[in-house]
Amino acid sequence: MKNIIHIIITLIIALTIYTATFAQDIKESIELPDNATARLGKGRIYDMQYTEDGTRLAAATSMGVWLYDTIDYREIYLLTKHTNYAEFMAFSPDGNTLATGERSGIIHLWNVDTGEHKRELMNKQGLIKLLFSRDGETLGTLGPHGTILLWDAIIGEEKQAFENVVDFRAQGIFSTAFSPNGFLFATGDENGVVRVLEPFSTKEIHTFEGHEGHVIDLSFNSDDNLLASGGWDYTVRLWDLDAEEQQLLIGETLCIDNLTFSPVGDLLAGSSHIGEIRLWDINSGEERIEMKGHSGKVLRLAFSSDLRTIASAGVDGTVRIWEVFSGRQMHVFPNHFGNFTCIGMSADGKTVAAPTHDRTVCLWDVASGELEKTFDKEGFFGVTEIAFNPAGNVIATASYGDFIGVWDRGTGEEMARLRGHKDDVSSVVFSPDGKIIVTGSKDMTVRLWDAVALEEKQVLEGHEAAVTCVDISPDGQTIASASEDMTIRLWDAESGAEKQVLEGHEKGVSSVAFSPNGTTMASSDRTDSVKLWDTATGTPRTVVTGDASGVLCVVFSPDSKVLAVGNLHGDVHLLNIASGEVVKTFEGHLKKVTDLAFTSDGAKVVSRSDDGVLYVWNVSL
């Protein structure tokens, strides 16, 4: 019974409820799927932990869980089994087992030395924390409704359940933390009040006031006698739980997030939204070290147990290893970008643009798989579609914020923000001469914009439901718009007059594309069929079978002989237009494929999936 109580208590360790996310299928090395030449990006980071001996660092990302050697800075494994983002992690005390969990409650156990997948557990009530017992034989899980489950980590069976231990649903709570020994639970609220409770009785034992506004982060030291809090008043405060008073005030600092005590408790680390990391002496409040290197918000901090290093992960796509004593940057693991929302290919086929769910837009070199550059989009509105102009020097983004951003590729500066749509903008494309930008929106309209003057030219109305996709013919004379009203409408690009309405789809049309030779148009509607249309007459030519799971997106090869289709199962098929046969299949994504783009020479195709991963595939038919 003592062991069970100890596990329950120690389970609730330094809890911070993070933002949600996912992963894929283990390989004994970091290999690619068959026929893939590159994986673009290494995934956005959601959690990061050292092994007990400090020799390895695990990073849970939107792509999977990366395991790094922190001695020689090697990539050891990419662990990919989750179908949603792996958000929570715990190493066994001996460092031999890694538990990774997603918010849905799925947990995977891994052999750290070999990368072998050991077993899967299902925490049906969801998950917000993982912790091993000190002997490594029991895994504890904490769910979003305050229920603790104890699992036999050896055989994977549930041992015991303790329900409603903690109530996370109290109004106004903005941050939470559990003490390392589990006796205490802290909350910070929107009014600047910090409360400390006994988690099993929920008895309030301390109340601290001092912050002005939201308390955004909390952290206990290893002895459970100090609590650090960071607030929007740009102060960090240390509360002495024995004396029941404020011990230290660190004022006028941006480093109010990711508060982390060093293993021996004499240092406190904090980070800022602009990339700064500071270490303070907890006795004097003196700043020991300032670390600068990140170009944006720091997402996570982790001390090694030997106090030799501290690791930081940022939205700039880097994991950085710092020497604690000197503040010297020892190594950078780059390209931790992921959660890509869409892709756009440059006309020369050399560059793929991919916006993330964060503010970053990545430009990738298709041939090498290397990151060319990044720029930050304004605000956090998701980008639904992205397109290069024919010259490749301007990029347009369609947004959930009902506007279109126009960007200078060279500088990354926003040239203009085009407004006029009354709802989310779902699609954007440039005319072949680069003079017109065409957009479609949930407001059921298609709009034409002058790409030089950066102003609205025309509004095309006629659809009876959201416009999902737009394209323009190679000669620039005809605009095609697909809609949830199950139709495709053809418009005269010069006059804006409606030329034809194409009917026959069983569901809302998800994608439409002209062939490069201008003779054929393809469309999909999430069923197994892809319709091919004669662009001269608007009559259906044939229906080809794309995939039984349903086809979401279509794109033609540069020679117009092959159609690439992305399906709901996560595969990419290449179809011979003449015969309708599948000539090649690319498997590797775990979720539906939403975006496809051929390189200009037709040798490669790039795919984007809801698993957030981008693959470059070798076509070579």
At residue 232, does pLDDT exceed 60?
A: yes
Asked if 442 and 569 sit in the same domain, the reply is: no
Q: What CA–CA distances, in Å, run from 105 to 4, 64, 169, 312, 388?
A: 21, 16, 19, 26, 40
Which of 478, 503, 528 marks a domain boundary? 503
CA dihedral 178→180→182→188, nearest 10 degrees, is: -20
Is 474 a domain residue?
yes
State the distance between the two ends of the chain, measured CA to CA, in whole angstroms. 65
Asked if 499 and 516 sit in the same domain, the reply is: no
Asked if 408 and 512 sit in the same domain, the reply is: no
Please tell me the least confidently modeled range out of 35-39, 195-199, 309-313.
Answer: 195-199
Asked if 543 and 599 sit in the same domain, the reply is: yes
Asked if 463 and 602 sit in the same domain, the reply is: no
What's the chain's average pLDDT? Answer: 89
- pLDDT band at 52; cut points 50, 70, 90: confident
Asked if 514 and 426 sit in the same domain, the reply is: no
Q: Quote the tokens at residue 117.
A: 């997948």
Q: 520 is in which domain, residue-wise?
A: 504-621
Residue 144: its pLDDT value, please? 84
- pLDDT band at 201; cut points 50, 70, 90: low
Q: What is the pLDDT of residues 245-285, one digit of tens each?
A: 999 999 989 999 999 999 888 999 999 999 999 999 999 99
Asked if 422 and 515 sit in the same domain, the reply is: no
Asked if 531 and 446 sit in the same domain, the reply is: no
Is 554 a domain residue?
yes
Q: Which of 582, 34, 581 is nearest to 573 (CA)?
A: 582
Q: Which of 212, 153, 152, 202 is nearest to 176 (CA)?
A: 202
Asked if 345 and 438 sit in the same domain, the reply is: yes
At residue 340, does pLDDT exceed 50?
A: yes
Asked if 519 and 485 sit in the same domain, the reply is: no
CA distance 238 to 371: 41
pLDDT, average across residues 563-580: 95
Q: Quote the tokens at residue 395.
A: 């990029």
Residue 380: its pLDDT value, please? 66
Q: What is the pLDDT of residues 498-527, one digit of tens each?
A: 999 999 999 999 999 999 999 999 999 999
CA distance 537 to 531: 15
Is 103 a domain residue?
yes
Which of 104, 132, 165 marks a domain boundary? 165
Please tell me the least confidently modeled range out of 6-15, 144-153, 210-219, 427-436.
Answer: 6-15
Asked if 454 and 561 sit in the same domain, the reply is: no
More confident call, 357 vs 8: 357
* pTM of the shown model: 0.85
CA distance 258 to 296: 14
Q: What is the pLDDT of residues 431-488, one digit of tens each?
A: 999 999 999 999 999 999 999 999 999 999 999 999 999 999 999 999 999 999 999 9
Q: What is the pLDDT of residues 365-393, one digit of tens each?
A: 999 999 999 998 876 678 999 999 999 99
Count the Cβ atoms, other than its own, within 10 Å of residue 494: 12
Radius of gyration (Cα) for the chain, nearest Å? 27
Q: Quote the tokens at residue 512.
A: 């439409």
Asked if 350 and 493 sit in the same domain, the reply is: yes
CATH assignment at residue 428: 2.130.10.10
Q: Edge-to-edge strand order for the sheet containing 540-545?
A: 511-514, 520-524, 529-534, 540-545
How many domains in the chain? 3
Q: Which of 524, 517, 618 is nearest to 566 (CA)?
A: 524
CA distance 587 to 18: 31
Is 295 a domain residue?
no
Strand, helix or coil for residue 534: strand
Which of 503, 531, 550 marks a domain boundary? 503
Is 240 a domain residue?
no
- Token look-up 């720029």 returns 375
Please tell me the least confidently modeled range out of 20-34, 203-217, 381-395, 436-450.
Answer: 20-34
